[in-house]
Amino acid sequence: MAAIKALDEILNKGQFSNEVLNLYADKVEKRDQNFLRQLVYGVVENKIYLDYILQKSSKNKLEKLDKDILNIVRIALYELKFLSTKKYAVINEAVNNAKKIKFSAKGFVNGVLRNIDRNMDELSEIKGKDNDKKLSIQYSCDLSIIKYLKQYYENYEEIVKSFNTVPSFNIRVNTFLTDKEQLINRLEKKEYIVEKSDVSKDCLIIKNPINMTEIEEFKEGLFTIQDQSSILVSEILNPKENSSVLDLCAAPGSKSTHLLQIMNNNGKVVANDIAKDKLDKIKDNFERLQLSNFELTNYDAQKTIKQFIDKFDYVLVDAPCSGLGVIKRKPEIKLNKSIDDIMSLNRIQNEIIEQSYKYLKVGGRLVYSTCTLGRKENIDIVNDFISRHNDVKIEKINDKEYLEILPDKNNDGFFICSMQKQ
């Protein structure tokens, strides 16, 4: 029942999948937590395709079905289509769950699932000549997102396909407390399979990440969990020791802690976020990593913060964005985001980066980053910004004006641009 309730929170109430699963995982036995995550992520990741199959096999319009009953059928269909669970067990479990929620629906659930099981190959076939529409159904991605990506990327189909791959599990070595080789040695003694990242110098890739937050190395603050593309952001800003640094949109604090780590806890990082309820999480991250020279603030980054004016050597604007680069981790994004959302975020991003200019000292450095794709939230923001400020110059990264990492089996999608106020 936990999977049904979690899907209701994500699909019907607009909650974030990672936050919902963290909540519901605590409500099931530890041995069942991975299966819960697999079911919930699997349904969200494949929702449009599952509904396509269901609608072809049902006389009832899906939007008229009880929402919990619909999620019961989606879960069962996901298992029948993508997992190796025994078919009779899947159908019986779905019928039993339906009885608990709406007894009269048990016949519908039983009938539609048995029909699908008998005709799976025929029902699974996606018909039509429009390749983008077929891509939208097969990989359960809103068609408007596909068309948006198609404007900018010749390999947009590969990008869309990557949204349904399992993300790699990456950790950031806390070099304030240990070094990469020492941590690798300790993890390998615990039989973890560890690989070095070729993207970020502080990143390690864990191939079998079982209970990573429960081991002593995590509790001692020797590492934190963070994607390698995200880790690279702070490495590019690369503040010197004894500097003043502002992370303007800091939650959950991964980049803030990394910036202070890079400075060996010498200097000061101000971690600001508009969400007051997220400050405790940021504080916890600093303290677990044994980093002390930080200050937490709770201001709206779209408005001028007078006490920040001309105060900082480095400013990071890791802007709120549509998150198209992290769909593997938050698959609900590909169902919910629209071009209107992107344009609304574009306005917010423009306002935030404009405010950040005021906080930089002359000679100070600014990094603008997002975990999304396309020009509207990325290079267009930067170009508009520097067109308003002749004293801001782009600093090249690997001989390019900006770094764009496209999502694939190893990486989240990220955009990073470094600038200096002259």
What pLDDT digit, counting tens, does each position of 10-53 carry? 999 999 998 999 898 888 888 888 899 999 999 999 999 999 99
* Domain segments of the chain as ranges: 1-125, 227-421
- Using CA atoms, how far apart are residues 124 and 130, in angstroms rounded to an integer? 17
Is residue 157 predicted with pLDDT exceeding 90? Answer: yes
Name the residue type at position 351. E
Domain 227-421: assigned CATH number:
3.40.50.150
- Does position 143 have pLDDT exceeding 90, yes or no? yes
- Say what the pTM is: 0.94
* Rounded alpha-carbon distances, angstroms, from residue 227 to 206, 232, 402: 11, 9, 19
Residue 315 pLDDT exceeds 90: yes
Identify the pLDDT of residue 200.
96
The proportion of the chain whose per-residue pLDDT surpasses 90, expressed as a percent, equals 91
pLDDT at 84: 86
* Residues 6+ away with beta carbon under 8 Å from 128: 134
> 141, 203, 371, 417: which is the annotated catalytic residue?
371
Identify the sign of the CA torsion 262, 263, 265, 270. negative
CATH number of 1-125: 3.40.50.300, 2.70.70.10, 3.50.50.60, 1.10.940.10?
A: 1.10.940.10
Q: Tell me, what's the pLDDT at 331?
A: 96
Q: How confident is the model at residue 368 (pLDDT cuts 50, 70, 90)?
A: very high
The chain-wide mean pLDDT, for the chain, equals 96
Structural tokens at position 190: 């615990």
Model confidence pLDDT, tens digit, residues 82-94: 998 899 999 999 9
Determine if residue 300 is labeled as part of a ligand binding site.
Answer: yes
Residue 244 is assigned to a ligand binding site: no
Contact 175, 231 (CB under 8 A): no
CA gap 335, 417 in Å, rounded: 28
- The pLDDT-based confidence of 241 (bands split at 50, 70, 90) is very high
The reply to whether 371 belongs to the active site is: yes
Mean pLDDT across the stretch 125-130? 93
CA gap 275, 236 in Å, rounded: 26
Q: What average pLDDT score do residues 213-220 get?
A: 96
Over residues 320-344, the mean pLDDT reads 94
Residue range 264-283, pLDDT digits in tens: 999 999 999 999 999 999 99
Residue 299, phi-psi category: left (phi > 0), alpha (psi -120 to 50), beta (remainder)? beta
Q: Which pLDDT tens digit goes with each residue over 94-122?
A: 999 999 999 999 999 999 999 999 999 99
Alpha-carbon distance 261 to 254, whole Å? 11
1 has pLDDT over 90: no
Q: Is 407 labeled as ligand-binding?
A: no
58 annotated ligand-binding residue:
no
Per the annotation, does 167 bind a ligand?
no
Residue 318, annotated ligand binder? yes
Contact 366, 355 (CB under 8 A): no
